[in-house]
């Protein structure tokens, strides 16, 4: 069996294990073992991948395997990875790992929580290893639906409303997507739903013009494309910590990855023709999210809007349709995934101690919980693009890439997108100043302790990853960049 399938199998086995486990200790043991295994797998995959490439293997997808599943519709179970999927798998594994630790202390229904959590992971990992449109879509939906219960049962605030809104909007997106996928398959006349195969056959240009928006918007809903992003603030605000992490950290990346893997890769002509519409939308997203974040008072809302802005940048960069910008987009996905997960983890931990997320009610937390405070500052600095942390690498690559277009339209939007780095600084520093700094006021907060070991594990792993990418970006950037080549060539044909 192909070892990529382990990425799906491990979470499934985890689910079985969870189902059988009897007490909290066993549940935790299963979760930690599984998550560590996944992380080890992902790291191993990175080395294996780089090794193969170094050994001169130049095929587009490595470790590919293919089994016919539904022969009548030419649906195959086919897996394979290129540098981009490897990067995304690594991201997912890190976030699943840290998510387990971040949800160490659940208050009720632990088993069910982890069951859904594993199902979500299954979907996420499956999505990234899939090469077949059908399985890709299937995993995509598998990843979406557990959100409903995870938010609805374990969430807080207006959880039912948020969960419902999130699920319905994302499902509406996936409805468009399904039509798009079917259209692509039937109109391309390909003999299988395999991505590479369809890319080779090509979709007729006339059909691309209506399929492209369908697919792009379909994935874009999950990628928080303006104006379909409104599920995100409410959803994140209501979700429990680990779910916010996984959702903002990985699930939203499914959107970006899909946009680029399906919409751009398979429909290059339409991408060239219609990119301008979406550049306007994403350009708006970037600035709009940032401005909205400035006035929010709920920590999670701030971060959610910040995600709108950052994910907008991802889609924006993808639409620039050149290697550098796309490379930046993938890096931004990684970077945003890690730092937003860190943010949500920290917010969850702070909330667990202060029982409020309203920044007006918190002050001087740095004194009370220095570890969390420092981590929050690091996350903030990463988010506003400090060199040495991952955000900088991604943003700079995007801007350089976006600037390759010479016409006024692209230039203007690139510069508009650039301004987000200032606005980001404004809202990040505002929050940091309000909640961490100043004298510690609330007695209830003063009694709260600093991070526990499992919380430390979770944050430290994330910070290490952020700093790792930020300090030594070359290997991952080159890995992604090489894999982008076939896609870019497809666009420029």
Tell me how far apart the alpha carbons of residues 78 and 133 are, in angstroms, rounded to a whole number: 9
* Residue 416 in the binding site for another protein (CB under 8 A): no
* Residue 419 in the binding site for another protein (CB under 8 A): yes
With H, G, I as helix, E, B as strand and everything else as coil, classify residue 155: coil
Residues between 473 and 492 that touch another protein (CB under 8 A): 473-474, 477-478, 481
* Residue 157 in the binding site for another protein (CB under 8 A): no
Contacting another protein (CB under 8 A), which of 85, 162, 167, 459? 167
Beta pairing partners, 194: 132
* Residue 19 in the binding site for another protein (CB under 8 A): no
Contacting another protein (CB under 8 A), which of 422, 446, 489, 492? 422
Residues between 227 and 266 that touch another protein (CB under 8 A): 227-231, 233-234
Give the alpha-carbon dihedral of 271, 272, 274, 276, to 10 degrees.
120
| C-alpha radius of gyration, the chain, whole number | 21
Q: Return the number of the residue (326 or 349) whose C-beta is nearest another protein.
A: 326
Task: Determine the interface stretch with another protein among 68-76, 90-98, 268-276, 332-340 (rule: CB under 8 A).
Answer: 68-76
* Residue 129 in the binding site for another protein (CB under 8 A): no
Residues between 329 and 358 that touch another protein (CB under 8 A): none
Give the alpha-carbon dihedral of 340, 346, 347, 348, to 10 degrees.
110
> Sign of torsion, CA 418 375 341 240?
negative
Question: Minimum CB separation from another protein for residue 413, in Å?
Answer: 13
Task: Determine the interface stretch with another protein among 79-87, 260-268, 392-400, 451-459 (rule: CB under 8 A).
Answer: 392-400
* Residue 192 in the binding site for another protein (CB under 8 A): no
* Residue 92 in the binding site for another protein (CB under 8 A): no
User: DSSP letters along 405-463, please?
Assistant: --SHHHHHHHHHHHHHHHHHHHHHHHHIIIIISS----HHHHT-----HHHHHHHHHHH
With CB under 8 A, what is the number of residues at the site for another protein?
A: 89
> Sign of torsion, CA 490 179 87 78?
negative
Task: Say if CB 359 and CB 432 are below 8 A apart.
Answer: no
Residues between 363 and 382 that touch another protein (CB under 8 A): 364, 366-367, 381
Tokens for 181?
């996928």
Per-position x/- string for 396-415, each x denoting binding to another protein as judged by CB under 8 A, each - no binding: xx-xxx-xx---------xx
* Residue 169 in the binding site for another protein (CB under 8 A): yes
């Amino acid at each position: 069996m192909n070892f990529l399938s382990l990425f799906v199998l491990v979470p499934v086995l985890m689910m079985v294990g969870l189902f059988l486990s009897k007490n909290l200790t066993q549940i935790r043991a299963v979760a930690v073992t599984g998550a560590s295994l996944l992380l080890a797998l992902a790291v191993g995959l990175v080395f294996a991948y780089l090794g193969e490439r170094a050994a001169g293997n130049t095929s587009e997808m490595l470790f590919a395997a293919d089994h016919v599943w539904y022969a009548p519709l030419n649906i195959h179970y086919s897996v394979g990875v290129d540098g981009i999927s490897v990067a995304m798998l690594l991201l997912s594994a890190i976030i699943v790992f840290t998510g387990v630790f971040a949800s160490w202390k659940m208050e009720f229904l632990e088993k069910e929580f982890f069951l859904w959590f594993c199902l979500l992971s299954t979907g996420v990992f499956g999505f990234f290893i899939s090469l077949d449109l059908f399985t890709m879509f299937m995993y995509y939906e598998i990843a979406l639906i557990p959100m409903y219960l995870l938010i609805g049962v374990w969430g807080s605030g207006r959880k039912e409303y948020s969960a419902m809104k999130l699920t319905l909007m994302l499902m509406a997106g996936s409805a468009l997507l399904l039509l798009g996928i079917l259209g692509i398959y039937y109109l391309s006349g390909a003999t299988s739903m395999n991505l590479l195969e369809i890319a080779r056959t090509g979709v007729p240009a006339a059909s691309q013009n209506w399929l492209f928006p369908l697919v792009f918007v379909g994935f874009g809903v999950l990628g928080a494309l303006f104006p379909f992003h409104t599920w995100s603030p409410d959803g994140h605000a209501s979700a429990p910590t680990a779910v916010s992490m996984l959702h903002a950290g990985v699930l939203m990346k499914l959107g970006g990855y899909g946009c680029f893997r399906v919409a751009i890769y398979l429909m290059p002509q339409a991408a060239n023709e219609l990119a301008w519409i979406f550049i306007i939308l994403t350009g708006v997203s970037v600035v709009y999210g940032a401005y909205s974040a400035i006035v929010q008072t709920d920590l999670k809302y701030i971060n959610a809007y910040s995600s709108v802005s950052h994910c907008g940048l991802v889609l924006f960069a993808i639409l620039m349709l050149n290697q550098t910008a796309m490379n930046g987009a993938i890096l931004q996905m990684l970077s945003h995934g890690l730092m937003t997960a860190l943010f949500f983890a920290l917010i969850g931990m702070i909330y667990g101690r202060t029982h409020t997320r309203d920044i007006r009610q918190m002050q001087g937390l740095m004194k009370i919980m220095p570890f969390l405070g420092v981590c929050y500052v690091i996350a903030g600095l990463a988010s506003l693009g400090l060199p040495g942390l991952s955000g900088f690498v991604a943003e700079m690559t995007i801007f350089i890439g976006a600037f390759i277009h010479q016409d006024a339209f692209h230039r203007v939007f690139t510069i508009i997108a650039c301004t987000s780095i200032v606005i980001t600084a404004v809202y990040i520093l505002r929050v940091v100043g309000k909640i961490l700094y100043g004298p510690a006021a609330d007695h209830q907060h003063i009694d709260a302790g600093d991070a526990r070991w499992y919380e430390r594990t979770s944050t430290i792993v994330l910070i290490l990853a952020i700093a790792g990418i930020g300090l030594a970006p070359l290997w991952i950037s080159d890995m992604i960049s090489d894999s982008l080549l076939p896609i870019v060539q497809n666009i420029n044909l």
